[in-house]
Amino acid sequence: MSTLHHARPIAEPASWAQARPFRACELCDHGQTVLQGQRRCTHPSAAGTSQGVPVHQARALGGACGPEADLMLPPWVRS
């Protein structure tokens, strides 16, 4: 029986240390509205007004989009 050996230890990518919260919202078509320095979600299911809701509310546990960004619509998926 052979065992697998890695040439070098597996480490976390350096980019993980620089991950930004709500990055999915920055990439989503619905998260492109920024008012007074605050990114807002304008998805119809999440937005209470035409100005949308702050993304931290939409992405909260129990929020319309949730922690997994369920309503995300990235530009490269548009039909």
Question: Six-digit token pair at 13?
Answer: 């990518």
pLDDT at 49: 74
CA nearest to 69, candidates 35, 23, 33, 37: 23
**Rounded distance, CA 52 to CA 46, Å?**
7
Radius of gyration of the chain from Cα atoms? 18
Query: Could you tell me where the beta strands, DSSP code E, fall in the chain?
Result: 33-35, 38-41, 53-54
Per-residue model confidence as pLDDT tens for the chain (79 residues): 556 555 565 656 665 556 678 989 999 999 988 999 999 999 988 877 778 999 999 999 999 999 999 999 887 776 5
pLDDT at 67: 92
